[in-house]
Amino acid sequence: MRTSFTLYCEDRQMGKGEWQFQCHKDGMNVLDPAGRVVCWFRHKSAEDLFTLPSFWRSVKHIVFATDRGMILHFEPDPKDVRKVREYLDSALLAGGIKAVKKLQQRAWFAVAGGLALFVISLLIAYLLDQVLQLQDSKRYARPFFVGAIVGVGLFGWGVHGVVRFSSLVRRWREETD
């Protein structure tokens, strides 16, 4: 497991500069640029505290939410994103195969849910337009096209989770052999 890493905070109010994330017991200490411990969190909760840059979710920075509700925005440098992603994978593996299987379950639910939302949304839009032949049916169908787009995004997130699960299982097997 990655023992520590540094991220650069862009927000002056929160403490612009390099923030340290250091392993301590079964979690991580978060130190501000002055070296003060701002918070500590367990490895098993890391997945919920970090948000990585994402086009689909309109997230531009590495975002970290502390247990006290403070939200920190860090530079989205590709090397830093890789460090955080490696840490999150290691933290998930530290929870054992049970934690990894939970990721698999969430990923498959997202695949199924995204596919179902996509199909149902397009089916309803088709029914409104072709079968019911409502006046101005395009206006009524628009929200269902948005639902179809959201379904594609959810499906994509699920596929990403399934691929991540596969690589984590492979890594877990290599580490336990």
**Mean pLDDT, 10 residues at a time, over the chain (177 residues)?**
82 84 90 92 90 78 87 91 90 85 93 96 86 71 89 93 90 82
Cα separation, 8 vs 105, in Å, equals 34
User: Which DSSP category does 1 fall into?
Assistant: -
40, 49 Cβ separation under 8 angstroms: no
Q: pTM, whole model, 2 decimals? A: 0.74
Q: What is the pLDDT of residue 120?
A: 96
CATH number for 4-94 (one of 3.30.410, 2.40.160, 2.30.29, 1.20.81): it is 2.30.29
Residue 7: C-alpha distances to residues 80, 81, 95, 136 (Å):
7, 9, 24, 52
Q: What is the pLDDT of residue 33?
A: 93
Q: What is the pLDDT of residue 56?
A: 63
Is 60 in a helix, a strand, or coil?
coil
Q: What is the pLDDT of residue 2?
A: 62
Q: What is the pLDDT of residue 121?
A: 94
Residue carrying the six token digits 């830093």:
80
Q: What is the pLDDT of residue 8?
A: 93
